[in-house]
Structure 1
Amino acid sequence: MAGVYALAGAYIAYRFYYQNFDTDSLSAGQYTIVTGNVLDLVFLGVAVLVLAIGTAIILSQRKSTKKGERLWNAAARRLITNMAISLITGGVFILILLSKGLFVFAAPASLIFYGLALLNASKFTFEELRSLGIIQVVMGLIAAIFVNHALLFWALGFGVMHIIYGIYMHLKYEK
């Protein structure tokens, strides 16, 4: 579901906030890609994040209840703590980028820091999460190079890759 929410958020962002721009004629300090209110774009990102996390919690709770396990245990606390370090650092860094007017680097930074969070989390969960983390970091680095397509790479990383990962994990562990 996180992938579906990400694709919907990317579509809304593209449709209502982004405009085309030419990266060959602009320096990093002159990027202007957002036509709407930047706060609206931040709220859209937060909404996608809340939906994704909320759905993950609800589905995880259902699964743990069926298995007769507690959702919030020592392993879950270690997982959340190790993810939070990268995610909070990335969130603060993105807010700094936005405050400096460097909106175009928000999508690549979110992919990179999220990928690093997944790499940290992979120590406490499925090994396949490590691969997803590496893919997110690589997508973020590519998005930083091709900033005029950063939203597309964000949609591929958060949207398509989560959908593929979810299908793979379901087929491998649930069937």
Structure 2
Amino acid sequence: MDSKNYHEDLSHIRSMMERSSRFISLSGLSGVFAGLAALIGAGYVYFIFQREGIDYFDGDRNFFGPALVRELVIVGTVILLIAILSGYIFTANKSKKKGLKIWDSTTKRLLLTFAVPLVTGGVFCLALLFHHLFVWIAPATLIFYGIALVSAERYTLTDIKYLGYCQIVLGLISLFFLGWGLVFWAIGFGILHIVYGLIMHKKYK
């Protein structure tokens, strides 16, 4: 009996230490929702290409005018905002159910660790956009996003690093298939997020 209580106490202590050092309220459903938003966005971008007379899958290099680039940037920004908002809503709901604070010192450390490579990658991609090096943007976003996820693993669920590794590998592969950024974006930000989200939802629900 004493041995059972001893093990229960140790388990409780480990749980408390994990709660204090890691942000464990990330919702798998937020990943699913973000992935669906990315796939819908990719489909809409393909529709834009069709509207502009661009046959994306014919293998030819296509010229993107300033107006088209601005529209694509707007679409990407809207998808990003939707993903962030949905992530916050699902995570806040999960934190409330668990009786945990969504904003504390651990959350701040998580966001800082995640933001450094992400902001660096964002500025790098803006430079690529400025110099009209559009084909390099998709690989760069996937790689920097993957690095951000791996870095954030220290302060949240360890499983997130595997999503990060997959994003990095996918970004590196896409470097050898320049011009197919929409496809790799759909796989990385869409399919991988959905798969990861479903696994995390089942594992931590």
Pair in the same fold by TM > 0.5: yes
Helix, strand or coil at the partner of 2:95: helix
Between 1 and 2, higher relative CO (CA 8 Å, sep ≥ 6) is seen in 2
Tell me how far 1:34 sits from its aligned partner. 3.0
Output aligned runs, 1:72-151, within 5 Å. Answer: 72-151=103-182
Structure possessing the higher radius of gyration over alpha carbons? 2
Residues 87 and 69 of structure 1: CA distance in aligned 2, closer, same or farther (over 3 Å): same
Tell me how far 1:22 sits from its aligned partner. 4.4
Structure 1 gaps, min length 5: 24-30
* 1:91-134 residue CA offsets vs partner (Å, 9 max, x unmatched): 11111101111111111111011000001011111111111001
Helix, strand or coil at the partner of 2:64: coil
CA distance in 1, matches of 2:64, 2:173: 20
CA distance in 2, matches of 1:156, 1:62: 28
Tell me how far 1:33 sits from its aligned partner. 4.7
CA distance in 2, matches of 1:117, 1:40: 26
CA distance in 1, matches of 2:119, 2:192: 22
CA distance in 1, matches of 2:40, 2:149: 22
Structure 2 gaps, min length 5: 1-32
Q: Is the 8 A contact 1:108 1:141 kept in 2?
A: yes
CA distance in 1, matches of 2:48, 2:94: 37
Residues 144 and 33 of structure 1: CA distance in aligned 2, closer, same or farther (over 3 Å): farther
Aligned residue for 2:34?
2
Aligned residue for 1:154?
185
Residues 54 and 161 of structure 1: CA distance in aligned 2, closer, same or farther (over 3 Å): same
Residues 102 and 19 of structure 1: CA distance in aligned 2, closer, same or farther (over 3 Å): farther
CA distance in 1, matches of 2:40, 2:172: 23
Residues 33 and 132 of structure 1: CA distance in aligned 2, closer, same or farther (over 3 Å): farther
Helix, strand or coil at the partner of 2:154: coil
Matched AA of 1:134: Y
Helix, strand or coil at the partner of 2:179: helix
TM-score by length of 1: 0.89
Aligned residue for 1:57?
88
Equivalent residue for 2:79, pick from 48, 65, 72: 48
TM-score by length of 2: 0.77
Tell me how far 1:166 sits from its aligned partner. 0.5
* 1:30-80 residue CA offsets vs partner (Å, 9 max, x unmatched): x64536521111111111110000001011111111222211111111111
Aligned residue for 1:15?
47
Helix, strand or coil at the partner of 2:155: coil
Identity, in percent, stands at 43
Tell me how far 1:148 sits from its aligned partner. 2.7
Matched AA of 1:100: H
CA RMSD of aligned residues (A): 1.6
